[in-house]
Structure formats: C-alpha cells, structure tokens
Chain A
C-alpha cells in the first residue's frame, strides 16, 4: 500500500501531457510514463485506473486551470470591446505560460474521450452572458456560435501559435506577439463583429 504523494502526482501529470503533445495518444503508455516521471508503474496505477482515466483526469484539470485564468478580472457585463480584450490577454498569457497545456487540451478537445458535460459551467455561462448582453446592446451582430468563435478567438490562437513556434510563414523572421500587434489584431476582429 502506498500513500498519495502530491509531488509525484504533479510530475506524472506534467510528463504525461508532454508525452501526449510530443508523441500523440499512442505514444503514451503507463510504462513509458513511469520511466519519464521516475516513478514505478505501480505508483501510476495508484492515481489512475488506466490510460483513458489518466487522459480524462488530465483534461479536467487543465481545463480547470484554463477556466480560472480566462475568467480572471473578466466581467461578463462589460462592454464587448473591453471584455474581449480581457479575454484575449488572459488567454494569451495562459498559453504563453502553459504551452503544453494549450496543445494538450486542443488535442483532446475533439477526441471521443471528452464528454462535453464535463466542461465547467461557470465558464460557459460567463461567455454566454457576455455575448448575449453584447448582442442586446447592439455592440455586435448575432451569429451562429461557431462563426462567432472563429472570428472572435481563432485569430488569437493562430497568432499565439506563431509566437510560441517562434516562426510564421517560411522565410519570415521570428514572430513576436507584443501589445501593439495584439491591439491591431483585436481592433480588426472587433470591427468584423460590429453591426
């Protein structure tokens, strides 16, 4: 019988995320993970039932961290332009500080392993309220949510990826997403959503 050790658990989680991002789901086995984390296979099974349970627990925790970061200083009642800026900066900072987490959640998000009902309702409610208040106040046009998201956030994540990869188009110098570039992109996005 082994007791839970929070440090070991943290290392196991970090290494598992790295392995999935670097080598895909198939690249992760309990044995490889044990080796990478410097723990025994038996120890990993104390915390996780099997690989699927491990991936689901990782996803739940990473989403939780992302939700906390995204909602920091965010007021769903705020004017759309201000609220979106807070969202962009929160999301950008989170991705810069946790690049592995960003790639991992993106990889898992669309896999059958994830049940949408597990997504934090505080986050969904806040984003829903924010957008619908903005539509009511005629700050943005009503759109199907997929189109809204693709315009409001996809440009941000693309720029974040350019920044993290330190490259963009072939032959271009390293891309650095600084405040002036963020503001430029954000102003174009807001313009696109205006009535």
Chain B
C-alpha cells in the first residue's frame, strides 16, 4: 500500500550493526516517527544486518544520519 501523496516510493538498503531485537526495539519509535519512511525492517538473520527502508525520497543520507545519531553504524549497501 502506498500511503504517500506523490504515489512514489524508493527502496533504500543499508548495512548496519543492528543485530539484537533489543536494538530494533529501541530504534522503532525513531523510524516510525519519521514521516518520510513508509515501511522499514531489519533483517537480523543477515550478516550485514540489512536495514531496508521504503521511503518517499531516494536519499540515503538522512537515514544514515538518523541511525548514527541513535548510536549505530549505518552505511549504504552498494552494488
């Protein structure tokens, strides 16, 4: 379901060190509170602890900034 007004969404993928459920829990209010993030999830089963975000914009920087501010590593997972 697309909820943003422009009807466009972008998938952004990051490598992180978020590897415990506890960390996901602590990040939840932060990510849920961000209006530009439509959906997000962290793949704890993956060795890169991939943070996947469906956002209303294609920019990685604001997300990296947000997650780093919360005390975790976060970088764009590139090709």
A40-B12 in contact (CB<8A) = no
B61 at interface by CB-CB < 8 Å: no
B12-A30 in contact (CB<8A) = no
Pick the interface stretch among B18-26, B29-37, B38-46, B63-71: B38-46
Q: What are the residues of chain B within 8 A of A50 when measuring CB–CB? A: 41, 43, 45-46, 50, 52
Q: What are the residues of chain B within 8 A of A46 when measuring CB–CB? A: 11, 13
User: Which of under 10, 10 to 19, 20 to 34, or 35 or more describes the interface residues of B?
Assistant: 10 to 19
Dominant secondary structure of chain B at its interface with chain A: loop
A51-B45 in contact (CB<8A) = yes
Contact with A along B40-79 (1 / 0, CB 8 A): 0101011110101000001000000000000000000111
User: Which of under 10, 10 to 19, 20 to 34, or 35 or more describes the interface residues of A?
Assistant: 10 to 19
* A2, A40, A42, A50, most chain B CB atoms within 10 A: A42
B46-A49 in contact (CB<8A) = no
Complex alpha-carbon distance, A32 and B38, angstroms: 29
Once A41-B77, A45-B77, A49-B41 are accepted as A-B contacts, the answer to whether A29 and B46 lie under 8 Å apart by CB is yes
Q: What are the residues of chain A within 8 A of B48 when measuring CB–CB? A: 31, 41
Complex alpha-carbon distance, A28 and B68, angstroms: 30
Complex alpha-carbon distance, A50 and B77, angstroms: 15
Shortest Cβ distance from A79 into chain B, in angstroms? 45
A1 at interface by CB-CB < 8 Å: yes
Which residues of A line the B interface, CB within 8 A? 1-2, 29-31, 40-43, 45-46, 49-51
* Smallest CB-CB A-B distances: 5 pairs: A50-B43, A1-B58, A40-B79, A42-B77, A45-B13
